[in-house]
């Protein structure tokens, strides 16, 4: 049976805890706190209460008939994480970690955000539970995602713009880590993906794994079987990890992680860490990274702010190494095409992140038999991206 | 310079009644061609060793001043190899050179290759702030085999058990972080710092140096009283960048017994 990570927080050669000594006690405290609640019925009952009555779980598993017809291949199902409160899967983890914050007796929370979805989710969970919240966000992303910034402010969070480097998600993580180093005694860091030092990748995976668990039982109810394939988009990789993890031991289920190919892997302007990167240490973990010949981290490039990250969760690096998941990529153009395709065939506007998974479907369905089944993790809705998409497609659609 | 020579030099300074003073500089800030002169200047001004920063794109333990110096250095084209080459070109420095960098540049260079290059360039030890003892087996045996000191950092947040373990493991000196935060100038230190330093000195087999936030001669004196000396980073980096050499001399002088 698949069992990761080990007691040191390593997934094969990946993972670990590469943080300054000042943070080590907090990381160890978090690990102890998480171990004490992860199987505690009272904690889980509270978590599930909010997931059901507040977030609106479980989310539907929907057979996308018109999309299936249009692509003319395998049957496509959508796991509708876009229907969660706040519009994406991010709320699952934010809520779990906010409850953990309270359990540890801390009253303040710091978070980073790229597209703003994790920032909104964290601000929401903090408003719900009465926690103080500060969110670091790159200036470039603030420009791309103005509405989400305003949402966070309405929810009572403080949004701190980050000007350094590429002024995107990587730099927001750096600043959130620096803030945490300085405020570690009363603040918890709610990291938004399966990245960072152990135990974060494990905590985030576990708090997202209801995606896969629900999918499994919903699919069984509909068809009596397991799906033949799962597909999800990957930046840090939390929605994919949540979807994949409960299926890792089901050898018949193929899994595909779709990274952001940006302008195309061959151009060097992309965010496809596993396809175009190499192993290194960033933000507390050993994993695949985009880096130059001297080990300096390079800038990622994607139309989607949420995938614009030069690292990836260490467990994905491990799943690649053991050949359990196939990692592929979809370009900005593929994602835009995917967004239009799903909007026109199913009346669902996906987030640009999720549109990468949709954008890869035309290629994937060709490789599978017609009676095969695919579940797509539709991680978020596209309301936040409408302006960006209008900027790119506007001419064609409105003239 | 070997680990043993570093130990001997530090002992000499302490034996004559001075405190240790280790300035931090960013390699390649202002261009790598200036590096050996910068080291020479600090040596002449009375520094006990140099903590030489190798720039990294994502330095999470560093505050604004050192981040900016790193960005300037990388923009000027500094590479890990370039730093080693530059150090080799010098006729040999009289005080120990200790490299400070993050794990990724070391890992990417290859730990074994990195250690070889350190020895060739005359480097005595390393400080890797994102390598806690839980992960140090990645480098510790290799560094030991190369006679390089792996200098451990201890923090105000470290509980007693970790402080003792780090004190026991460290080589060269113990780097006592004096603020709960990143590097950069501070006006005040928590009252706990004095006791924390005294406590670390108890039974330590190497000198205990206080670092992070120290930026005035008064602070050098105040913290040295409870430790074996200090490390000053951001203030030195800023002064070198501004060409403010007197500031540096007065900081170093504050560590001498006749100041």
SS (H, E, C) A334-379: HHHHHHHHHHHHHCCCECHHHHHHHHHHHHHHHHCCCCCEEEEEEC
Residues in chain A: 399
B52 touches chain A (CB under 8 A): no
Q: Compute how many other C-beta atoms are within 10 angstroms of the C-beta atom of residue A48.
A: 12
Rounded to whole angstroms, the Cα distance separating A388 from A351 reads 11
Nearest to B181 among A181, A286, A295 (CB): A181
Q: Rg of chain B over CA atoms, in angstroms? A: 17
Angle, helix B160-169 to helix B192-201, in steps of 10 degrees: 50
3-state secondary structure of A289: strand
Q: Quick check: is A259 catalytic? A: no
The domain of B71 spans 3-253
Judge whether A90 counts as a catalytic residue: yes
Return d(Cα A9, Cα A139) in angstroms, integer.
33
Question: How many residues in total does chain B contain?
Answer: 259
Chain B hits for A22, Cβ within 8 Å: 155-158, 177, 180-181
**Token pair listed for A135:** 């969110």
Distance (Å) from the alpha carbon of B174 to chain A's nearest alpha carbon: 13
pLDDT category of residue A14 using cuts at 50, 70 and 90: very high
Q: Is the pLDDT of residue B184 over 60?
A: yes
Domain assignment present for B21? yes
pLDDT surpasses 70 at A6: yes
Closest C-alpha to A189, from A135, A111, A123: A111
Assess whether pLDDT exceeds 50 at residue B181: yes
In a domain, B258, yes or no: no
Contacts of A277 (CB under 8 A, 6+ apart): A288, A289, A290, A291, A310, A312
Q: Hey, are the CB atoms on A17 and B108 less than 8 Å from each other?
A: no
Nearest to A17 among B134, B156, B180 (CB): B134
Give me the mean pLDDT over the A210-225 stretch: 98
B interface test, pick of A279, A292, A295 with most B CB neighbours within 10 Å: A295
> Does residue B102 carry a pLDDT above 50?
yes
Q: What is the pLDDT of residues A326-338, one digit of tens each?
A: 999 999 999 999 9
Distance CA A113, CA A137 (A): 5
Q: Which domains does chain A have, with CATH numbers?
A: 10-52+90-204 (3.40.50.1100), 58-87+209-393 (3.40.50.1100)
Contact residues on chain B for A177, CB-CB shorter than 8 A: 60
Exposure of A313 in the CB half-sphere (CA atoms within 13 A) = 31
In A, what residues contact B, Cβ < 8 A? 8, 16-26, 164-165, 170, 174, 177-178, 181-182, 184-185, 279-284, 286, 289, 291, 294-297
Q: Which residues contact A255 (CB under 8 A, 6 or more apart)?
A: A229, A230, A231, A244, A247, A319, A324, A325, A326
**Substitution target from B75, B130, B190 for chain A, most A beta carbons within 10 A:** B130
Quick check: bond before A199 cis, omega within 30?
yes
Q: How far is CA A5 from CA A16, A198, A201, B125, in A?
A: 9, 9, 9, 32
Q: Is B147 on the interface with A (CB under 8 A)?
A: no
Residue in B closest to A197 by C-alpha: B130
As for how many domains chain B has, the answer is: 1
Q: Please answer yes or no on whether A174 and B132 come within 8 Å at the CB atom.
A: no
Nearest residue to A335 (alpha-carbon basis) of A285, A288, A301, A371: A301
- How much is the average pLDDT of B120-134? 97
The answer to whether residue B37 is domain-embedded is yes
Interface test with B, best of A15, A20, A106 (most B CBs within 10 A): A20
- Give the integer Cα–Cα distance in Å for A323 and A311: 19
Instruction: Compute the half-sphere exposure of residue A148: CA atoms within 13 Å on the CB side of its CA.
Output: 35
The ipTM assigned to this model is 0.96
Distance CA A386, CA A25 (A): 43
Task: Identify the residue whose tokens are 């989400």.
Answer: A148
Tell me the pLDDT tens digit for each residue of A222-251: 999 999 999 999 999 999 999 999 999 999
Rg (CA), chain A: 19
- d(CA B26, CA B233) in angstroms, rounded, equals 9
Q: Which residue has the higher pLDDT, B91 or B160?
A: B160
Strands A285-289 and B50-53: unpaired
- CB-nearest to B159 from A25, A170, A185 is A25
Contact assignment for A21 to B135 by CB distance below 8 Å? no
Q: Give the mean pLDDT of chain B.
A: 96
Q: With bands split at pLDDT 50, 70 and 90, how would you rate the model's confidence at A395?
A: low
- B156 domain-assigned: yes
> Could you report the per-residue pLDDT of A74-124, keeping only the tens digit for each?
999 999 999 999 999 999 999 999 999 999 999 999 999 988 999 999 999
DSSP-based helix, strand, coil % in chain A, nearest 5: 50, 20, 30
| CA-based nearest distance A190→chain B, Å | 17
* CATH number of the domain encompassing residue B91: 3.20.20.70
Query: Does residue B251 have a pLDDT over 60?
Result: yes
* A224 three-state secondary structure: coil
CA distances from B171 to A180, A340, B258 (A): 28, 61, 29
Q: Which residue has the tokens 């069992």?
A: A3
Residue B259 counted as domain residue: no
Q: Note whether B194 and B226 are within 8 A (CB).
A: yes
**CA-CA distance, B248 to B241, in Å (whole number)?**
11
- Count the neighbouring beta carbons within 10 Å of the beta carbon of residue A3: 7
Taking CB atoms and an 8 Å cutoff, what residues of chain B touch A16?
134-135
Q: Does residue A387 register a pLDDT over 90?
A: no
Confidence of residue A398 (pLDDT cuts 50, 70, 90): very low
Q: What is the pLDDT of residue A399?
A: 43
Q: Contact at 8 Å (CB) between A132 and A212?
A: no
**Does residue B102 lie within any of the structural domains?**
yes
Kindly tell me the sign of the dihedral angle through the C-alpha atoms of A264, A270, A272, A275. positive
Question: Distance between CA A330 and CA A213 in Å, rounded?
Answer: 26
Classify the phi-psi angles of A227: left when phi > 0, otherwise alpha if psi is within -120 to 50, otherwise beta. Answer: beta
In a domain, B151, yes or no: yes
Mind telling me how many Å the CA of A197 is from chain B's nearest CA?
11
Q: Closest approach of chain B CAs to the CA of A21, in angstroms?
A: 6
Q: Per the domain annotation, does B228 fall within a domain? A: yes
> Using the beta-carbon criterion (under 8 Å), do A19 and B155 form an inter-chain contact?
no
Which of B7, B51, B171, B199 is an active site residue? B51
Q: Answer whether A297 sits within 8 Å of B60, measured CB to CB.
A: no
Q: How many CB atoms lie within 10 A of CB A108?
A: 15
The total of other beta-carbon atoms located within 10 Å of residue B214's CB is: 27
């Amino acid at each position: 049976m698949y069992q990761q990570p080990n007691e040191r927080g390593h997934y094969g050669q990946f993972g670990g805890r590469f943080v300054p000594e000042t943070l080590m006690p907090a990381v160890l405290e978090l690990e102890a706190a998480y171990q004490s609640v992860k199987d505690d019925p009272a904690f889980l009952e509270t978590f599930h209460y909010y997931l059901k009555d507040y977030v609106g779980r479980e989310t539907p598993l929907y057979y996308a008939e018109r999309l299936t017809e249009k692509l003319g291949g395998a049957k496509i199902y959508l796991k509708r994480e876009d229907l969660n409160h706040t519009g994406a899967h991010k709320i699952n983890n934010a809520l779990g970690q906010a409850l953990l914050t309270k359990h540890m007796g801390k009253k303040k929370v710091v978070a980073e955000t790229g597209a703003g979805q994790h920032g909104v989710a964290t601000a929401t969970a903090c408003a719900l539970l009465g926690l103080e919240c500060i969110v670091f966000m790159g200036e470039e992303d603030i420009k791309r995602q103005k509405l989400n910034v305003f949402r966070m402010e309405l929810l009572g969070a403080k949004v701190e713009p980050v000007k350094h480097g590429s002024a995107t998600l990587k730099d927001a993580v750096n600043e959130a880590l620096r803030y945490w180093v300085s405020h570690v005694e009363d603040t918890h860091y709610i990291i938004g993906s399966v990245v960072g030092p152990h135990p974060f990748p494990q905590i985030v995976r576990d708090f997202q794994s209801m995606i896969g668990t629900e999918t499994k039982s919903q699919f069984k109810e509909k068809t009596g079987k397991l799906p033949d394939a799962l597909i999800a988009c990957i930046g840090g990789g939390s929605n994919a990890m949540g979807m994949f993890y409960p299926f890792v031991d089901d050898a018949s289920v193929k899994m595909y992680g779709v990274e952001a190919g940006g302008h195309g892997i061959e151009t060097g302007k992309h965010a496809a860490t596993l396809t175009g990167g190499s192993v290194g240490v960033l933000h507390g973990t050993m994993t695949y990274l985009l880096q130059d010949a001297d080990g300096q981290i390079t800038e990622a490039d994607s139309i989607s702010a949420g995938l614009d990250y030069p690292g990836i969760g260490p467990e994905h690096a491990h799943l690649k190494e053991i050949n359990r998941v196939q990692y592929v990529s979809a370009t900005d153009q593929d994602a835009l095409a995917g967004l239009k395709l799903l909007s026109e065939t199913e009346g669902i506007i996906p987030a640009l992140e999720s549109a990468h998974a949709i954008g890869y479907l035309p290629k994937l369905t060709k490789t599978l038999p017609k009676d095969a089944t695919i579940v797509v993790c539709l991680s978020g809705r596209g309301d936040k991206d409408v302006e960006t998409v209008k900027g790119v497609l506007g001419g064609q659609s409105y003239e | 310079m070997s680990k043993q020579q570093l130990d001997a030099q530090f002992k000499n300074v302490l034996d004559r009644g001075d405190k240790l003073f280790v300035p931090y500089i960013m390699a390649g800030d202002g261009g790598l061609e200036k590096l050996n002169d910068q080291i020479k200047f600090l040596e002449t001004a009375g520094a006990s060793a140099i903590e030489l920063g190798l720039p990294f794109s994502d330095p999470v333990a560093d505050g604004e001043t050192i981040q900016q110096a790193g960005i300037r250095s990388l923009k000027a084209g500094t590479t890990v190899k370039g730093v080693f080459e530059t150090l080799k070109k010098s006729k040999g420095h009289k005080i120990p050179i200790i490299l400070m960098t993050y794990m990724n540049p070391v890992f990417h260079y290859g730990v074994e290759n990195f250690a070889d290059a350190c020895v060739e360039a005359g480097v005595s030890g390393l400080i890797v702030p994102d390598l806690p003892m839980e992960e140090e087996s990645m480098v510790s045996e290799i560094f030991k085999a190369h006679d390089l000191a792996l200098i451990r950092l201890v923090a105000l947040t470290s509980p007693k058990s970790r402080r003792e373990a780090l004190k026991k493991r460290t080589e060269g000196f113990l780097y006592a972080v004096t603020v709960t935060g990143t590097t950069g100038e501070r006006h005040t230190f928590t009252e706990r710092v004095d006791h924390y330093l005294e406590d670390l000195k108890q039974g330590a087999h190497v000198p205990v140096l206080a670092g992070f936030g120290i930026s005035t001669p008064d602070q050098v004196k105040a913290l040295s009283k409870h430790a074996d000396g200090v490390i000053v980073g951001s203030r030195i980096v800023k002064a070198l960048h501004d060409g403010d050499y007197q500031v540096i001399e007065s900081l170093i002088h504050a560590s001498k017994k006749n100041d």
